[in-house]
Each structure stands twice: as C-alpha cells, then as structure tokens.
Amino acid sequence: MKAYQVTSHDTDPSVTEVPTPSPEAGEIRVEIETCGLNFADLLMVKGTYQDTPELPFTLGMEVAGRVDALGDGVTGFNVGDRVAVFGGQGGLAEYGCFDARRAVRLPDDMPMEDAAAFQIAYGTSHVALDHRANLQTGETLLVLGAAGGVGLTAVEIGKLMGATVVACARGAAKLEAAKAAGADHLIDAETQDIRTEMKALGGADVVYDPVGGEQFEAAFRSCKPEARLLPIGFASGDVPQIKSNHLLVKNLSVLGLYWGGYLQFRPEVITQSLKTLLEWYSEGKLKPHVSHVLPLEQAAEGLELLRSRKSTGKVVIKVTA
C-alpha cells in the first residue's frame, strides 16, 4: 500500500510502498479515505513533538474511512462501518490499524472530508472551553489564531456556549472566515494592538491561544481579574514564559490543554466530548471549515499550507477515492 512516511528527521517525508498491516487483538483495520493534517504533523517531521513515534513512521493523526477488518476481541464494529479515528499516526496511508476504543461511528450524513477535519480541532476546543476553562454564558472569549484549524472551532463553540467571541487573526480574509464562524468582534493582528482593542471591549474572561509568542503576552495583559488562559499550542514558534507574580495580581489561571493526553488517563473526557460534538453536528450547529482537499501525492503541499499559515480551517488529504 502507499504511505506518506518519515524515515529521517533530516529529510522530507515521501510517498512510498509499505506492507499492508493486519489488525492485532483489539484493533480495527480501516480503509482510509481522508486524513486531516495538523500542526503537530510538522513537529513530528522534525522530531520535536511530545509524542513523536520511532522512525520510520507514517504521518497523519486523524482519519475517516470504512472498517475493513476486525482484530480478535473487537466488538461494537462491523466490516463496512463508517468511522473516524484519532490514531496519533498512520493516517496518510491507504490502510491503517487502530485501537478500536479510539474509533467513533460516523453519522450517515457526514462527509468523509468533514469527518477527517472534526476530531482534533473540535475536540480540542470543546474540552478546552468546557472541561478546562468552564466558559460561562455572557463571558468574553478571546481566540488567537482564530482562522486556523482549531481557532475557527473555538469561535464556533464559544458562540454555542453563549460567550461574546473576539477573534484575532492576520488579514481581512482570515478575519472574514472568523466572522462567518460567529465572531462578535474582530482584531487584525497585523495592524491592530491586541491589548488596546481588548481593553476597549472590557477585557477577556478566557483566552484561547494556539499561537504563543507576542500575541500571548498581549492577551495576558488584557485579561480581567480571575480570567483563564488556555495555551493550546505555539504556532509562532515562541513558547512564552509566564511570570507567576503577574498571575497573582489579577488572580489569573493558566490551564494547559493537550487533548490527546486524555486518552492515557481519562479517555471518558474525550468520549463524552465527541458524543456531544457529533450531536451538535447532526443538529446543524457545527459546520467544519475545510479550506483545501488534496490527494496523497500532494501531502507535502498540504503541510506547507500549515507551515506558511496560508490555510483557513483544516487541510484534508484525500487518500482514496
């Protein structure tokens, strides 16, 4: 089968032929139709992600497709079922074997492109805002990187939870995408000062930050007393250092969020979250934003869209027709 593999952290990944895997006990084999790309894939290529697999490995953290084979002991799934899986790796291939406990059955009306764009982006934002930050109706939510894969979902979910959402992104096109997702106020990070604009709006109760760097610093200084800050990632490449004395002055809380980590110690958090999110999708309350769908042979172009921040929403690779 074809797979987009990393064989060295010093060379670019490439599409290569590898043996088709067989499912072990507790696993399902999925004929993969689509795979969502994530910023973490870029880190894995360089070997700097916290869960980078041993070389060689196949990129692709979240997939959608059909169950092709069942390993011993698997119940609850049948061959032919439409599923989405967060596997952590192995998604940019024609077939993949995954722990059946990580799979969710898809609604019949959910396109595979939506399914591949759904789990990590929506799951991260929902667990962050609901489980970690306990976002309340009427609070002000500031979303940095608001036109990115997770940023747009934070805008959508924040609005569903009753918050006033302030979207910060670079340029008119990205801000327009955030506005379409439900943002109440817009801040152009290229031309406007985040702290000044947020002060004019009364400050932030919750900050959702997949960017880091200078934007985090500005957002930090625009927080209301008892605000909660959510470091989701560091797309800027700059991990901010937080001075604890600044936290105590306003009684601020910094709440880290690594969505995939819950699979190791509290998987029910993710399971319940995805159940809620899929219900919202079926009710028409969520609409995944996929800016690019590319074939497997153009996976490198898809990753470059993330690296250069030229995408809005998710980039999806169509593995099989």
* pLDDT value of position 321: 64
Q: What element of type H or E holds 31?
A: strand 27-36
Give mean pLDDT, residues 255-267.
89
- Which domains are assigned to the chain? 2-118+288-318 (3.90.180.10), 121-258 (3.90.180.10)
Band of residue 320 on the pLDDT scale cut at 50, 70, 90: confident
Angstrom CA distances, 98 to 104, 131, 170, stand at 12, 26, 37
Residues 75-100 have a mean pLDDT of 95
pTM of the model: 0.85
Residue pair 163/202 in contact by the 8 Å Cβ criterion: no
pLDDT of residue 238: 84
Written as one string, the DSSP assignment of 57-70 is EE--SEEEEEEEEE
Identify whether the C-beta of residue 311 lies closer than 8 Å to the C-beta of residue 147.
no
Q: What is the mean pLDDT of the chain?
A: 94
> pLDDT by residue (tens digit) across 28-46?
999 999 999 998 999 999 9
